[in-house]
Amino acid sequence: MSQRWIVGVGLFFCLVMMTYLGCSNSGAPIVTHTPQPLGAASLQLSAIEYHIPTVSSGTLDIAAGPDGDLWFTETAAGNIGKVSTSGVFSEFHDTAVSPSAITVGPDGNLWFVHGNDQVGRITTAGTITEFSLGPQEFQGIASGPDGNLWLTENHTTGCGKHCHHDVSDIVVLTTGGSISATYPISSTAEVGLGHIVAGADNNLWFIETETNEIGRITTSGAVMEFPVPTASSGLSSALTRGPDGNIWFVETVANQIGKITPAGTITEYPIPSPLSGARGIAAGPDGKVWFTENRINQVGRIGPLGLITEFRIPTASSAPIGITKGPDGDVWFVESGANKIAKARP
């Protein structure tokens, strides 16, 4: 589920403006297909909205847990929350600050990051354990096909008395909380690593916001990078594995939804509403991909061929961010501006 996806409270856009277009580092060309026709004007969304108990929680990300509840991060309040499909809330205070991205781990627990050197684990009973792994600044987290957690991180390191440089790595973490491998993506400049997700091809896919690329890494650490065809697309840090086996992602500045096949072919689809502020993205229960439009108070849905439909959220200025597929067949999303969790039936 989000620009660099991991953002501070109140920072709703990570708009990175760089021009970078070409071939992958293997020399393989990237082919862009002509987008399919777009959908009609936005429709009213039939949604149920639940108020988060903690006021001004700064809720950011959301994931469906193995217990049938929805789990979310309260970045401003420093809590991990959960809500049942009938709207019953529980909140657990995190000893660290600003939890952000959250995912289900291969061990059946929920794992989350803070944008610093700490990684958290919470059981479905609410017991939190923190692992300090410095000097990394972890941004995204995903369960890998190898039974480990895979994380993206960016940090600055010194190289002398008056010298420093930026580093971006992929880190492999065991469910015991120890680092088993680190794979450098860049050792000289931060590439803006964002979210990471396991693909249908048993590789991990990730966002590079500053270089305008989608990256792929095998479980043995082999990396390929694919430039997004639209220059300065302003990649959100969010991406998801679609029901069609492709990876889908958000181009906030270009106002497009993109998809990349396991072979690296990228297709881009313009969002009908201008300046939508598209942010989070997730596979839906209906065989389509859903995304949030943070700036214009909408959620969108895109089919496998690129047909987009947009829906207005009932609460004004709700500023939706994270989104996920619920265990009840609904789409669940975070309304960060309204301090609510909402669900809608596709």
Q: How far is CA 166 from the centre of its chain?
A: 22
Note the pLDDT of residue 135.
77
User: Are 210 and 226 in contact, with CB atoms under 8 Å apart?
Assistant: no
Say how far apart CA 214 and CA 102 lie, in whole Å: 20
pLDDT at 207: 96
**What confidence score (pLDDT) does residue 41 get?**
65
Class of domain 32-344: mainly beta
308-312/298-302 β-pairing:
antiparallel
d(C-alpha 101, C-alpha 83), whole Å: 17
Task: Give 70: exposed, middle or buried? Use CB within 10 Å, 0-12, 13-18, 19+.
Answer: buried
Domain ranges across the chain: 32-344
Q: In one letter, which amino acid is 345?
A: R
The confidence score (pLDDT) of residue 27 equals 34
For the record, the structure tokens of 268 come out as 């881009």
| 71/61 Cα distance (integer angstroms) | 8
pLDDT confidence of residue 10:
36
Q: Are 128 and 95 in contact (CB under 8 A)?
A: yes
- Token look-up 């008056």 returns 162
From CA 210, how far away is CA 124, in angstroms rounded? 36
**Alpha-helical segments (H) within the chain:** none
pLDDT score recorded for residue 29:
34
Phi-psi region for residue 141, left (φ > 0), alpha (ψ -120 to 50) or beta?
beta
Q: What is the pTM of this model?
A: 0.86
Instruction: Name 285's Cβ contacts closer than 8 Å, sequence gap at least 6.
Output: 325, 326, 329, 330, 331, 346
Per-residue pLDDT of the chain (346 residues), as tens digits, is 433 333 333 333 333 333 323 333 333 334 444 344 444 568 999 999 999 999 999 999 999 999 999 999 999 999 999 999 999 999 999 888 899 999 999 999 999 999 788 999 999 999 999 999 977 889 999 999 999 999 999 876 555 444 445 789 999 999 999 999 999 997 666 798 999 999 999 999 999 999 999 999 999 999 999 999 999 999 998 999 999 999 999 999 999 999 999 999 999 999 999 999 999 999 999 999 999 999 999 999 999 999 999 999 999 999 999 999 999 999 999 999 999 999 999 8
Q: In which element (H, E) is residue 342 found?
A: strand 340-344
Which residue, among 256, 235, 237, 249, has the nearest Cα to 283 in the 3D structure? 249
Interstrand relation of 266-270 and 163-173 (parallel, antiparallel or unpaired): unpaired
Closest C-alpha among 64, 124, 149 to residue 328: 64
Distance from C-alpha of 1 to C-alpha of 7, rounded to nearest angstrom: 13
